[in-house]
Amino acid sequence: MLNGEIYIFGGSSNFNKIARLQECEFKELSIQLEDRFDSVSGALITFSNRVYLCFFAWPYNSCEEFDGEQTVKSNFTTNHAHCYGSLGVYNDQLLALGAGDWPGEGVRNKVEILKNETWIEIADFPLDIQLTSTITVPEGMLVIGGWNQESGLLRENPNSGGFYKQVYLLSDNVWSLVGNLNEPVSDATVIRVGEWIVTVAGDSANNNVERFKWNGQEIENVETISKHENTILRPIAFQSYKNFCTFQN
């Protein structure tokens, strides 16, 4: 979402594509991304009236910016690779979290913030993490779920990695555990709908859609409200209403 309009970027059909939702149809724009992108191994976020698309292209430490009219490559690079990592907004600053050089770099808990066009390391995340999700709250930033390729605690096959259901808060540059989802999940999309924070599963055992409330100190009222049948990595989710396209037409 950028300036009230919905876009999609890249993907396996055309890794350089930019398309915008117009009259209930995604229409491809004439402008394309300079670098290939998908949101599974790459990460994107809307921040400061731009969409940042990061970490898909080797060496997984740079971003491309889209302002609705054109794209430019950022002049700054992170200190660590963040392939299969995530982006967030923390204290009005862009934040990069987790993963590394797939399948190389073993350090997968590094966190960096962008300050004055320079990436600066802050406190490491408590766990090795990749494919997690973030959302900004008044107290800082929440990190929801994720996956660790080295952990088999939550899967039958110990070589296939493990999902997380923990929710962490970053506040005053300190990480703290503030609750758990009902089900471990990775590759999720997280949106705010009224007083609820909704997590739409990307990859998990049951592909649940869960919601919870944030009370400023911990998550509460965790509910499973739906599920979808298939694994959909980084699903596109936004608030709308029933028969939106019918009413538009």
pLDDT number for residue 203:
84
pLDDT number for residue 237:
78
**Bond prior to 103 in cis (omega within 30° of 0):** yes
Nearest to 168 by CA among 92, 61, 80, 86: 86
Contact, 9 vs 58, CB < 8 A? no
- Give the single-character DSSP code of 32: -
Domain 131-236: which CATH number of 2.120.10.80, 2.40.110.10, 1.10.260.40, 3.40.1160.10: 2.120.10.80
What's the token pair of residue 128? 């090795």
- pTM of the complete model: 0.89
pLDDT number for residue 156:
39
Spatial CB neighbours of 161, under 8 Å, sequence gap ≥ 6? 147, 148, 149, 150, 151, 152, 155
Contact, 45 vs 94, CB < 8 A? yes
Q: How many CB atoms lie within 10 A of CB 19?
A: 17
Alpha carbons within 13 angstroms on the beta-carbon side of residue 247 total 5
Residue by residue, pLDDT tens for the chain (249 residues) are: 898 898 999 988 899 999 999 888 899 999 999 999 988 789 999 999 999 999 998 889 999 999 999 999 999 999 999 988 999 999 999 999 988 765 555 568 999 999 999 999 999 999 989 899 999 999 999 999 998 876 544 333 433 458 899 999 999 999 999 999 999 999 999 999 999 999 998 888 888 999 999 999 999 999 999 988 878 788 877 777 777 775 454
Quote the CA–CA distance of 160 and 234 in Å, as a whole number. 19
For domain 1-125, give the fold.
Neuraminidase (2.120.10)
Give the ranges where the chain is alpha helix by DSSP (H): 244-248
For the chain, give every residue range classified as CATH 2.120.10.80: 1-125, 131-236
What's the token pair of residue 157? 């096959």
